[in-house]
Amino acid sequence: MEGLDASVSKDLETRLALATKDDTARGLFFNGVVAAVRVLGGDAAVERCLAASGEKKFIDFFNYPVAAFLRLAFSAAQLMGPKYGGFDGALRRMGVVATQDFLSSAAGKTLLLLASDSPKRLVGNLHAGYRAAVSYGERGVTWTGDKTGVFFMKRDFMPPAYHEGTLQAAIEAVGGKQVQVHGRQTGPLDTEYTLSWE
């Protein structure tokens, strides 16, 4: 894709090649990226990112192909990278915004209610939140302590930096402090995230 460096472009192509037409994400994630791009780069930047996605606009609770989200997010991360410490920093920021948007939706509010200010309970229920937001993948957690664990994602299309942002924002939303999230890719679409908080 135009403007991406070679390794980022190769990563995008690998992820796109593994996506099927049945792999979809909710429009609210697309709209969060578009809103962030508009603040940072204005309407011209938004037009470039929308052109990369192949879509014109998004309705929050409609489903759109994850391939379009990948193109949109990679284009936006390239554009926003200088402000957020590079490509991964921009993806991390998008993940934070995506979580904030999701948690303000009806499904997100239900997830927060079930967690009742317990980061451990929230992380334990995150697989259900992801199921409400995307059509693909498998997720779960193995606890290594009261405030530590390993969250796994299998067949998830976004790079680790994006979900480092989503997981950190989710834990912080229910009162987790000094949250640490580190992703380690274990396969083309599989990642393990070590989590800890105070």
Domain 115-196 fold: Alpha-Beta Plaits (3.30.70)
2-30 pLDDT per residue, tens = 567 888 999 999 999 999 999 999 999 99
What are the structural domain ranges in the chain?
Answer: 6-101, 115-196
| Side chain identity at residue 192, one-letter code | E
Average pLDDT rounded to a whole number, residues 173-192: 97
pTM confidence score:
0.93
Closest CA to 72 of 87, 84, 54, 95: 54
Average pLDDT rounded to a whole number, residues 31-47: 89
Q: How far apart are CA 60 and CA 26, in angstroms?
A: 6
Mean pLDDT of the chain: 93
Q: How far apart are CA 153 and CA 126, in angstroms?
A: 11
SS3 call for 3: coil
Q: Are 137 and 156 in contact (CB under 8 A)?
A: yes
90-116 pLDDT per residue, tens = 999 999 988 988 898 888 899 999 999
What percent of the chain clears pLDDT 70, i.e. is strictly above it? 98
What percent of the chain clears pLDDT 90, i.e. is strictly above it? 78
Residue 83 CA to its chain's centroid (Å): 19
Instruction: Give the pLDDT of residue 4.
Output: 74
Phi, psi of 141 (to 5 degrees): -140, 145
